[in-house]
Amino acid sequence: MNDRLNDSALLRTQLFVDGEWRDGKGEAFDVLDPGNGSLVARMSAATAADVEDALAAAEAAFGGWAATTAPERAKVMRRWYELIVEHADDLATILTAEQGKPWAEARGEILYGAGFVEWYAEECKRVYGDVIPTNNAGRRLLTVRQPVGVTAAITPWNFPSAMILRKVAPAIAAGCPMVVKPADETPLSATALAELAHRAGVPAGVLAVVPGPAEEVGGVLTGSPVVRALSFTGSTAVGKLLMRQCAGTVKKLALELGGNAPLIVFDDADLDLAVAGAMASKFRNAGQTCVCANRILVQSGIHDAFVERLSAAVAALTVGYGFDEGSEQGPLISDEAVAKVQRHIDDAVAGGAQVVQGGGTHELGGTFFEPTLLTGVRGDMLVAREETFGPLAAVIRFETEEEAVALANDTEFGLAAYFFTGSLGRTWRVGEALDFGVVGINTGLISYEGAPFGGVKESGLGREGSRHGIDEFTEMKYLCIDGL
């Protein structure tokens, strides 16, 4: 690993607590390269006591950090942003080694994540309050927005860098310290970011990284009265569990949970846009994102032409080890992930679906999986009910707009949806009718730090990115000044 890095000090295998690197009291664990199963590093693990230490340091740091002016925080954050960009190659290398995605895609994630740091470095200067027209001549009414206090983040392995920056940036911009528990599979991206935050001058205690056993570390973060807000990205099942655990101390919650994104192609769509959008949305990160198109709904009139074009694009994808030049789709994260994709394919085929491309594990072995295209899928099949989280494009045919909207909304999830149409009327009608937090129209790529990202229904609570993302880490206070 070290020989791939320009700055080997970015590879950190300890906890970052109170501005220092230290060994956790837990049993160290292996971080493996999903591309070949080799050992990337042994990572130190936190116990509950380590997490308590991180929270105590965060609590101690809170007053001082909250009292800094917005331009002071912006300056530190700007330095952090610049260091992340400067070290983007190394950060991408660490990310690919522990997560598997192609290196160029990993580098894209680093820059995307850095965008949140840059954006919130500016946005902290605009955390405005209101002056409210008074109801009484002797009174003045106003609101201020103040940092909520110590915050915590629990993040997944699919975007080991961006999911952390998307949470830490608005938190520290608002004046809140944050304690981060990264996914067990991908702690090294988190510690590398902490190293750069430290170099940028983020004060001790303002950022901590505590990898370790999920239940133990998560138990302290959700149970401690010190933590006033939790931001979580991960599965709906774990999100619900954390929500219950946070109930005891009534924390503010931001939850980015699972999705079951529909991507609808109407007869009047531009075929080039629709195919490009479906490829980008479905196969990015080997299909392992919560906004990946999980159900591709295609209207009868365009169905065959779309499938033919999509099939060619799927066949042209290059599967390969993340560090190999030209690799477009890396391995899946685990054997369980492979088993789930295969289960969805088998269930669909047993129900009458056709395999147009792929259909099984890739000849590279390990957790590499063939980019797969199925047609003849129905809404009641597993692949349409559950999030596949793999490189499986499932095409469902429909006849009318009403049918498409009903099919699309027929899920307990509501994160991202996409549709392709050339009609302005349909853009409005369908855009308003879809029960999803994010809707991409004539595009499969919607993520941008300046826009609000988040779900409805069981896909979560709150928004990340944009001016709304900072609300998760502030409380509004109403000041009623009388006796004037």
Contact 120, 70 (CB under 8 A): no
Distance CA 290, CA 257 (A): 8
Distance CA 320, CA 324 (A): 6
Q: Among candidates 301, 298, 262, which has minimal Cα distance to 282?
A: 262
In this chain, which stretch among 102-110, 181-189, 348-356, 377-385 interacts with ligand ADP, using CB under 6 A? 181-189
Distance CA 102, CA 94 (A): 12
CB of 466 to ligand ADP, least distance (A): 23
In this chain, which stretch among 125-133, 233-241, 301-309, 348-356 interacts with ligand ADP, using CB under 6 A? 233-241
Indicate which residue of 256, 328, 387, 464 is catalytic. 256
How far, in Å, are 4, 160, 385 from residue 187 at the CA level? 18, 8, 31
CB-nearer residue toward ligand ADP: 242 or 319? 242
CB-nearer residue toward ligand ADP: 289 or 421? 289
Among 35, 147, 156, 330, contact with ligand ADP (rule: CB under 6 A): 156
State phi, psi for 147 to the nearest 5 degrees.
-60, 140
DSSP 6: S
Identity at 441, one-letter amino acid code: I
Among 84, 94, 127, 154, contact with ligand ADP (rule: CB under 6 A): 154
CB of 156 to ligand ADP, least distance (A): 4
CB-nearer residue toward ligand ADP: 125 or 240? 240
Among 235, 342, 354, 423, contact with ligand ADP (rule: CB under 6 A): 235
Determine, following the binding rule CB under 6 A, whether residue 170 of this chain makes contact with ligand ADP.
no
CB-nearer residue toward ligand ADP: 26 or 147? 26
Point out the residue whose Cβ comes nearest to ligand ADP: 218
Instruction: Give residues with Cβ within 8 angstroms of 430, minimum separation 6.
Output: 264, 401, 404, 405, 419, 421
Distance CA 205, CA 207 (A): 5
Determine, following the binding rule CB under 6 A, whether residue 183 of this chain makes contact with ligand ADP.
yes
CB-nearer residue toward ligand ADP: 214 or 446? 214
CB of 222 to ligand ADP, least distance (A): 7
Q: What angle do CA 74, 75, 80 make, to 5 degrees?
A: 95
CB of 219 to ligand ADP, least distance (A): 7
Determine, following the binding rule CB under 6 A, whether residue 287 of this chain makes contact with ligand ADP.
no
Total site size for ligand ADP, rule CB under 6 A: 15
Bridge-partner residues for 461, per DSSP? Answer: 255
Strand 178-181 relative to strand 207-209, pairing: parallel
- The arrangement of strands across the sheet holding 131-132 comes to 131-132, 140-147, 474-481
Determine, following the binding rule CB under 6 A, whether residue 238 of this chain makes contact with ligand ADP.
yes
In this chain, which stretch among 3-11, 119-127, 154-162, 247-255 interacts with ligand ADP, using CB under 6 A? 154-162
Determine, following the binding rule CB under 6 A, whether residue 403 of this chain makes contact with ligand ADP.
no
Burial class (CB in 10 A: 0-12, 13-18, 19+), 121: buried
The dihedral through the CA atoms of 339, 341, 344, 345 has a sign that is negative
In this chain, which stretch among 80-88, 138-146, 201-209, 236-244 interacts with ligand ADP, using CB under 6 A? 236-244
Verify whether residue 256 is a known catalytic residue: yes
Determine, following the binding rule CB under 6 A, whether residue 155 of this chain makes contact with ligand ADP.
yes
Stretch 185-224: interaction string toward ligand ADP, x if CB under 6 A? -----------------------------xx--x------
Give the residue carrying structure tokens 């129209």. 441
List residues binding ligand ADP (CB under 6 A): 154-157, 181, 183-184, 214-215, 218, 234-235, 238, 241-242
Name the residues annotated as catalytic.
Answer: 256
